[in-house]
Structure 1
Amino acid sequence: MTAGTGSLYEQAREAKHRYVWALDCRDWAGYRASLADELLVDFRSLGYKSAMTLSADGWIAQVRKLMDGLDASHHAVCNLVVDPEPRELAVRSYVTAQHVLRTADQPDRLYLIAGWYDDRMVEVDGVWKLTQIVFNQVWADGDPAVMTDAVRRAAAS
C-alpha cells in the first residue's frame, strides 16, 4: 500500500506486514524495499552489544547471517499502535517469531521469541519505509542454540 492510500494505521500495518513477510520468504528485494536507505536497529534485548545505525544493505547482510541458516521462520505481527508525528510514524506492535532448524538427528528444532517492536517509518516516494527497528524481547521458548547453529550453518555455506 502506498502512502496516502487508506488510513495511516492501514498504511503502517501494510508496511510492517510486507517487512516480515519478505523476511520469512527470504525475499531480499522485497525486504530492502521496506527499509529506508539508513536505519537505526536495536536488538540489545537479543544480546547485541549496542544499537546500530547502518545502511539498509548493511542491515540485510547482518540479517542474512542468521536467516540463510534457518530452514524456516514465521514472524506474526499484531496489535499495532500508530502515532503520527510531524514527519514520520511511530509504530509499536507485538511480535512472535518462530525459528526452525532441521538437522538429521533433530528434524524440527524450534526457538520462539516474543516481544514488541518500536518502529519508526517515513514516507519515501509514496511508500512507508522503516527508519528504526527496536525489538524488545519479553519471553522465549524452545532451543536458543537454534540461532547460533543457524549462523554457523549460513557461514559454512
Structure 2
Amino acid sequence: MSDPVTALLHAVDTLDWDGVLAVLAPEVRLDYTSLWGGSPEYVAAPEVVTRWRGLLPGFDATQHLTGPVLEHDDGVGGRYATTVRAYHHLVDGDTRGTWMVAGRYDIRVGDGGRITAITLHAAYEDGDRALTAVAAARCAAGSGGRVGA
C-alpha cells in the first residue's frame, strides 16, 4: 500500500468508502478546528465515513492535492506531514463555484499502519465556503453532484 495519507485522500476523492475504512483505525482523533472551530474529537471510523458521505458526494468533484508526504517515525507508529490544497467544485443551476482550502495535514498512524489522528492546519481558503451547505443539501435529498456514485 502507498502511504496512508495518499491512500486516504485518493479514496475520499473517488468516494471509495471501503477504501477510507481500510486506512482508518477503529477510532480517529479529528481536528479540523483551524477550519471550523470547535474542539478536536474522537470519532469511530464508520461515523467518519457517515459524515464525509453526507457532504462530499454533493460536490460535482473534489480533489485533494498534496505536496511530498514526509514520514517521521515517532516510535509509536508514525507521523505523516504534507501540504494540501483541497478543491471542492459544485455546479447547480445558477450556482457554480469552487471552494478551496489550503494548509497542512498532520496525520498519525498506529502500529498497524492505520490512521489514528488527522489534524488540518488550514492556512487560507479561496472561493465560497457556502457551497458546503448546497453539497450537504444534495446529499440529504439524495440527488445532485455525485450522490448516486
Q: Same fold (TM over 0.5)?
A: yes
Specify every segment of 5 or more residues in structure 2 that has no aligned partner in the other structure, as ranges. Answer: 143-149
Number of the residue aligned with 2:74:
85
Instruction: Report the residue type matching 2:103 in the other structure.
Output: G
Structure 1 moving runs of 4+ over 3 Å: none
How far off is 1:48 after superposition? 4.3
Specify every segment of 5 or more residues in structure 1 that has no aligned partner in the other structure, as ranges. Answer: 2-10
Instruction: Report the residue type matching 2:10 in the other structure.
Output: W
Number of the residue aligned with 1:25:
14
**Alpha-carbon distance change, 59 to 48 in structure 1, aligned in 2, over 3 angstroms:** farther
How far off is 1:89 after superposition? 0.5
**45-54 or 68-77: bigger deviation:** 45-54
Q: What percentage of residue pairs aligned between the two structures are identical?
A: 29
Number of the residue aligned with 2:122:
137
Contact 2:5–2:107 (8 Å) recurs in 1 = no
Q: What are the Cα deviations for residues 94-122 of structure 1, in whole angstroms up to 9, with x where unaligned?
A: 0100001111223x411111000111012
In 1, Cα distance between equivalents of 2:7 and 2:109: 13
Number of the residue aligned with 1:7:
none
How far off is 1:123 after superposition? 3.3
List aligned pairs for 1:31-110, cutoff 5 A.
31-106=20-95, 108-110=96-98
In 2, Cα distance between equivalents of 1:97 and 1:119: 16
Q: Secondary structure at the match of 2:140?
A: helix
If the length of structure 2 is used for normalisation, what is the TM-score?
A: 0.89
Q: Secondary structure at the match of 1:68?
A: helix
